């Protein structure tokens, strides 16, 4: 299937009109802000893009809810736009962004959350829920939490990685300060030290059970892909080069 694409960069406001430049019309849009990269500037760009989209008769907005984007949610409410917000727990796919290098080169993952039980969700499942919401004429709710199908600890994640990769992957528990420095030093993340500190503060709440307590609550969507299935799908990302 051929797809027509255009460049839309939240950090470059001059690109925000690009999807509408040739008179295209859309039934709806799905918004996803990159985590931790210029979040204040990005929120302002998202608000501007929403206004541009409304001017081009887009009546439906689907938003993946992340830390720091409450301003966007308020804007959607104030504009009285038909919208749907997905609020996912920790992405399984974060293992690629945050841990793939250390798994390949050191056979380890680091965390400051030894007690956390997390209903991790895959981006694939989130995509399925987002597509369904966009295709519905009307959704019963305009905001839902999205959880994975199982609670998993970082020790269990390391065990699954070990089983699938055929070598021992160690979960190394470190201090919050070391975790801040680890996130800040990852060139692929592009996080400021302040944002890394914010994430570690949020992780302290996760370690205390904040995500575990979401399981079984009403108004919750539950994905299908398990962490083992996800690791099998992305095994090549973690295989040692030696």
Contacts of 70 (CB under 8 A, 6+ apart): none
Number of domains the chain contains: 2
Q: Please tell me the distance from the alpha carbon of residue 208 to that of residue 138, in angstroms, as a whole number.
A: 36
- Token pair of 220 as six digits: 């919750």
Query: Using an 8 Å Cβ cutoff, are 54 and 109 in contact?
Result: no
Mean pLDDT value across residues 44-59 = 80
Of 39, 63, 88, the residue at which a domain comes to its end is: 88
Radius of gyration of the chain, Cα coordinates, nearest whole angstrom: 19
pLDDT of residue 5: 83
Question: Do 156 and 110 share a structural domain?
Answer: yes
Mean pLDDT value across residues 110-131 = 96
The beta-strand segments (E) located in 52-93 are 60-64, 82-88
pLDDT of residue 59: 60
Domain assignment of residue 185, yes or no: yes
Question: Do 112 and 193 share a structural domain?
Answer: yes
More confident position, 138 or 242:
138
Q: Please tell me the distance from the alpha carbon of residue 163 to that of residue 214, in angstroms, as a whole number.
A: 28
Average pLDDT, the chain: 87
Question: Do 51 and 4 share a structural domain?
Answer: yes
Q: Please tell me the distance from the alpha carbon of residue 217 to that of residue 68, in angstroms, as a whole number.
A: 23
Question: Do 213 and 93 share a structural domain?
Answer: yes
Domain assignment of residue 140, yes or no: no
Question: Do 112 and 71 share a structural domain?
Answer: no
Containing structural domain, residue 82: 1-88
Phi/psi at 163 (5° precision): -60, -45
Question: Do 238 and 190 share a structural domain?
Answer: yes
Question: Do 155 and 108 share a structural domain?
Answer: yes
Domain assignment of residue 36, yes or no: yes
Question: Do 108 and 162 share a structural domain?
Answer: yes
More confident position, 3 or 165:
165
Q: Please tell me the distance from the alpha carbon of residue 28 to that of residue 147, in angstroms, as a whole number.
A: 24
Query: Using an 8 Å Cβ cutoff, are 8 and 19 in contact?
Result: yes
pLDDT of residue 157: 98
Cβ atoms within 10 A of the Cβ of 5, count?
Answer: 7
pLDDT digits (tens, 9 = 90+) for 134-186: 888 777 777 889 999 999 999 999 999 999 999 999 999 999 999 999 999 98
Question: Do 29 and 93 share a structural domain?
Answer: no
Question: Do 111 and 31 share a structural domain?
Answer: no
Which residue from 112, 102, 113 is spatially nearest to 152, judged by alpha carbons? 113
Question: Do 74 and 6 share a structural domain?
Answer: yes
The beta-strand segments (E) located in the chain are 29-31, 60-64, 82-88, 108-111, 143-147, 170-173, 220-222
> CA end-to-end span of the chain, whole Å?
37
Domain assignment of residue 132, yes or no: no
Mean pLDDT value across residues 28-34 = 76
Q: Please tell me the distance from the alpha carbon of residue 29 to that of residue 58, in angstroms, as a whole number.
A: 7
Q: Residue 107: which CATH number? A: 3.90.25.10
Domain assignment of residue 56, yes or no: yes
pTM of the model: 0.77
More confident position, 77 or 201:
201
Q: Is the pLDDT of residue 65 over 60?
A: no
Question: Do 113 and 6 share a structural domain?
Answer: no
Mean pLDDT value across residues 29-34 = 76
pLDDT of residue 3: 65
**pLDDT band for position 94 (cuts 50, 70, 90):** very high
Domain assignment of residue 139, yes or no: no
């Amino acid at each position: 299937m051929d797809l027509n694409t255009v460049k839309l960069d939240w950090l470059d406001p001059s690109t925000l009109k690009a999807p509408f430049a040739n008179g295209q019309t859309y039934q709806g849009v799905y918004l996803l802000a990159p985590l931790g990269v210029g979040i204040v500037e990005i929120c302002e760009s998202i608000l501007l893009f929403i206004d541009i989209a409304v001017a081009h008769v887009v009546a439906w907005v689907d938003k993946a809810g992340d830390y720091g984007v409450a301003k966007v949610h308020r804007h959607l409410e104030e504009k009285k736009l038909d919208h749907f917000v997905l609020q996912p727990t920790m992405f399984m796919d974060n293992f690629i962004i945050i841990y793939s290098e250390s798994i390949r080169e050191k056979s380890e993952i680091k965390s400051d959350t030894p007690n956390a039980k997390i209903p991790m969700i895959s981006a694939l499942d989130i995509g399925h829920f987002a597509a369904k919401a966009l295709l519905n004429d009307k959704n019963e709710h305009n905001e839902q939490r999205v959880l994975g199908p199982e609670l998993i600890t970082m020790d269990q994640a390391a065990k699954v990685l070990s089983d699938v990769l055929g070598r021992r992957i160690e979960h190394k528990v470190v201090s919050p300060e070391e975790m801040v420095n680890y996130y800040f030093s990852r060139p692929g993340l592009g996080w400021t030290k302040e944002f890394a500190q914010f994430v570690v503060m949020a992780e302290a709440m996760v370690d205390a059970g904040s995500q575990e307590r979401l399981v079984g609550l009403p108004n919750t969507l539950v994905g299908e892909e398990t962490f083992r299935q996800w690791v099998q799908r992305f095994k090549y990302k973690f295989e040692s080069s030696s």
